[in-house]
């Protein structure tokens, strides 16, 4: 990956839809079972809506029953990063795009093997590319 993408907030607003902006830049979330990818079963890659970085693969997607796309691993570990999130008065792990810093969702330790992890990601910040 090259130099991280850095844009002004006005440039982000022009680049993203209002829903994408709210989630990616303001750390919002979409309601469960409403996003376009939570029930997608096609083979393909999920890229960051903000910068196009490959984030997840359909090969690691699973049905978590939560209403958000869930993955047990990123496409490449270096393409996502995590940070502590204390915003709801409890400790969670936030998932971000390493290239543009977009908020993607949260990471939980209740996923399937082989990792035991569940990357719970908002559909609105993902662009799907069929394989």
Residues catalogued as catalytic = 120
Q: DSSP letters along 39-102, please?
A: T--SSEEEEETTT--EEEEGGGEE--SSSS-EESS-SSGGGEEEEEE-TTSS-EEEEEETTT--
Distance CA(34)–CA(8), nearest Å, equals: 29
């Amino acid at each position: 990956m090259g130099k991280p993408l850095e844009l002004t907030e006005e440039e982000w607003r022009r680049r993203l839809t209002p829903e994408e902006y709210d989630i990616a830049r303001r750390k919002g979330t979409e309601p469960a079972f409403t996003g376009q990818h939570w029930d997608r079963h096609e083979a393909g890659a999920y890229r960051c809506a903000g910068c196009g970085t490959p984030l997840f693969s359909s090969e690691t997607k699973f049905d978590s029953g939560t209403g958000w796309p869930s993955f047990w691993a990123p496409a490449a570990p270096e393409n996502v990063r995590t940070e502590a999130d204390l915003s709801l008065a409890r400790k969670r792990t936030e998932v971000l795009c390493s290239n543009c810093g977009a908020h993607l969702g949260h990471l939980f330790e209740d996923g399937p093997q082989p990792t035991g992890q569940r990357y719970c990601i908002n559909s609105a910040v993902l662009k799907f590319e069929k394989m």
